[in-house]
Amino acid sequence: MRKPLIAGNWKMNKTMAETKELISAIAPKVKDADCDVVVCVPYTDIQTAKRAAKGTNIKIGAENVHWAQSGAFTGEISADMLKELKVEYVIIGHSERRQYFGETDETVNKRVQAALDAKFKPIVCVGETEEERESGMTETVLLRQVTEGLKGFKSKDFDKIVIAYEPVWAIGTGKTATATDANNTIGYIRHVLAKKFHRSIAEKARILYGGSMNVKNCKELMAEEEIDGGLIGGASLKADDFAFIVNYDK
C-alpha cells in the first residue's frame, strides 16, 4: 500500500567534489531498489548532486526551507531558490534545527506550507528527547508536534507529506529504539493522524524511522508493519552502508 522510502540526510557534510564521488558510488548500487531513494544535501551541493544523480533513480532534496519568499532572513533559503535548483524533497523540523536553531511547531507548520506551495515533498520530523522519554512524555510530545506542525493541511497535502519519527536520544548516540518500540511509536503517530485528521490520511501517510537506522538493524526495523522507511544520518555518508539499507529487502 505505502511504497517504502529511504532518505539520506547528509547534514553539514561533503564538499561538491565529495558529493559527486559519493552519489556516483551510490547510484549503481541502488539502481534496482524497490523503494524510493532520496538524498538530502547541503545547499552548496544541490547542483552537483542533481548532475550526479541525473538518469538514476536517486531524488535530491534540501535540508530546510524558509516560509517567506524573500526578506531579511540571513542564512535562510526560500522555496523559490530551491525550485530553481529543482529539488523534490525538503527536510523540515529536524531535531537539530529544533535544538540548535530555535525551530518550533509553529515555524515547522509555516515551512511545510511553503514547501507544499512550491510542490516539494516535505519530510517532517518529530520526536522526543531522552528527558521527555524518561519522564513518560513521548506520546504527549508527539501529539503536540504532529497536531501543531501539520495543523490546517488537507487530505491531498498528505499525498506529499512524509513524516519521520526521530527519537532525539537515538540520533548520533549509537542508541536505537528496539524494532518493536519504534513500530509501536510510529503506530501511535498514525493513530494521531487518524484522530486529528482522518483515517484515510493515517493509512496512506508514509512514516519513516530516523533514529540511527544502520546496516545492523535496518532489516529488522523495516520488517515492522508501521515503519515505511528510514531517514538515515551517518550511514548515508558511506556508499556501501547506504546502499545496504536501501536494499534491505534483497
CA distances from 1 to 58, 156, 228, 236 (A): 21, 17, 10, 26
> Has residue 172 got a pLDDT over 90?
no
8 A C-beta contact, residue 56 and residue 27: yes
Any idea which architecture 1-13+82-250 has in CATH? Alpha-Beta Barrel (3.20)
Identity of the amino acid at 207: I
Mean pLDDT over 179-186 rounds to: 95
For 221, other C-beta atoms within 10 Å of its C-beta total 23
8 A C-beta contact, residue 79 and residue 69: yes
Cell 482522518 found at:
198
Q: Give residue 45's Cα distance to chain centre.
A: 18
The size of the chain, in residues, is 250
Q: Where are the domains of the chain?
A: 1-13+82-250
Whether this model's pTM surpasses 0.85: yes
- The pLDDT, as a whole number, for residue 70 is 97
- The pLDDT, as a whole number, for residue 169 is 80
99 contacts: CB under 8 Å, gap ≥ 6: 168
Mean pLDDT over 207-211 rounds to: 94
Which of 96, 103, 128, 166 is catalytic? The answer is 166
Which of 94, 96, 103, 226 is catalytic? The answer is 94
Q: Provide the grid cell at 236.
A: 548515508
Task: For 30-71, write each residue's pLDDT tens digit.
Answer: 999 999 999 999 999 999 999 999 999 999 999 999 999 999
Active-site residue flag, 166: yes
Dihedral (Cα; 9, 14, 19, 23), 10-degree rounding: -40
Strands (E), 106-195: 121-126, 162-165
Active-site residue flag, 94: yes
> Has residue 174 got a pLDDT over 70?
no
